[in-house]
Amino acid sequence: MSRGQRIKTRKRNIAAPLDPSSFSDAIVQIYLDNAGDLELVAKSIESSDLNFSRYGDTFFEVVFIGVRTQPGTIKPEEEGERHPYSLIDCAAQREAILPYVLFIQKTLRRRPFLIKSLENVMRKFLQSLEFFEENERQKLAIFTALAFSQKLSGLPPETVFQPLLKDNLVAKGIVLSFITEFFKEYLKENSLDDLIALLKKGKMEDNLLEFFPSGKRTSEALSEHFTKEGLTSLVEYNSKKMFEVKLKEIKSTLTTMINEEAEISEVTEVVKQQVKDAKFPDIEVVRMLWDVLMEAVQWSGKNQQQNSNSALRQVNAWAGLMNAFCTSGKLELELIYKVQTQCYEDAKLMKLFPEIIRSLYDQDVLAEDTILLWFRKGSNQKGRQSFVKALEPFVKWLEEAEEEE
């Protein structure tokens, strides 16, 4: 008897083969029985004894497009029944799509192992965007944005962003259209900082241009596109990012040339070319030059006199470089503000302000008029009171020299 029982058990196991079609039909039937009411569908799924661990991918295919798909495609299985309550069938609006996100969230809380299946299916669909209709792609984009907004259990951003970078999808503009819809939806409820953090996790924060077809991969095209779509904060972010990248490149070149004690004329030429290529504002160039010169000083630990001497030597040695870029009173004033800020914030330079200004005057980098303008009406308040007092003897000397002339 016991032996017969064992055989019966074994037969029952054999009678339950790998059958995703039957699983798909069972999920479809649950949708049909509950007329697509996701609350009721969730309850029916919860009480079912279906094998989700084996057919997780099939489950999400039925949720997204209403039927199981053929392997490696988004085409429905020919024999499978389809339900009309899928994500692809709903309206391309947040209100219609959010319930699907919450439904999946609830399912994942009960069955956390299904997150891998959700990743698999999303990756498959995103790599196959060209086979969806435009409005279906829009729904997927809104769903994806809401999934991250609602912090859908454990969905890794790289799962979403990396499959989008398939060359053929990017070349057709499909990816740009998708990601634009994604950005618009995500930024309705989240800050730009949140979006950048998300892109960072997906290893995409420096690569916004990769979403554009190769012929349109320019900052100008990016600005034009996202401005037109009302995403000006993203345009500003990208401009700032590009600025930082180019600034880093110029700083690196300049630091190397200073350390190698290259000729001032050669350094000037190289910096001018890089500044021109990067379309750098003149004021930023002046600020950057001062930063790099001071960073290249060989500072002593605690010897204040050595630090003062090193800083002044650097100013005198590279005054010709500063002179080449301080080509107006406005830029000279900006240089004084830069020196003022650094002397205020850096204890090593606190007492050096008047000597630096004097050196820059002696080397023809700063004009007398600019120094007097700063002294009388300067708008930067950082340490201004003490710096004005420290510069008084030099200003008095300038004024007396002016009177004599």
Asked whether the beta carbons of 188 and 231 are under 8 A apart, the reply is: no
- Quote the pLDDT of residue 248: 93
Predicted confidence (pLDDT) per residue in 367-393, tens digit:
999 999 999 999 999 999 999 999 999
pTM of the predicted protein model = 0.75
pLDDT in tens, 307-328: 899 999 999 999 999 999 999 9
Q: Is 298 helix (H, G, I), strand (E, B) or coil?
A: coil
Mean pLDDT across the stretch 111-123? 93
pLDDT confidence bin for 79, thresholds 50/70/90? low
- C-alpha 8/C-alpha 249 separation (Å) is 74
Per-residue pLDDT, 3: 44
Give me the mean pLDDT over the 163-188 stretch.
94
Torsion angles phi and psi, residue 324, rounded to 5? -65, -20
Tell me what the pLDDT averaged over the chain comes to: 90
Q: Does pLDDT of 158 surpass 60? A: yes
User: pLDDT, tens digit, for every residue of 124-145?
Assistant: 999 999 999 999 999 999 999 9
Kindly state the percentage of the chain with pLDDT values over 90: 74
The pLDDT of residue 363: 95
| Band of residue 242 on the pLDDT scale cut at 50, 70, 90 | confident
Helix-helix angle 94-110:134-149, to 10 degrees:
50
pLDDT band at residue 16, thresholds of 50, 70 and 90? very low
Angle formed by the axes of helices 192-201 and 232-259, nearest 10°: 60
Q: Which residues contact 259 (CB under 8 A, 6 or more apart)?
A: 296
Which of helix, strand or coil describes residue 317?
helix
Beta bridge partners of 69: 76
* Site of tokens 């965007």: 129
pLDDT score of 20? 87
Inter-residue contact 349 to 390 (CB < 8 Å): no
In the chain, the percentage of residues whose pLDDT exceeds 70 is 94
Fill in the amino acid letter for 146: L
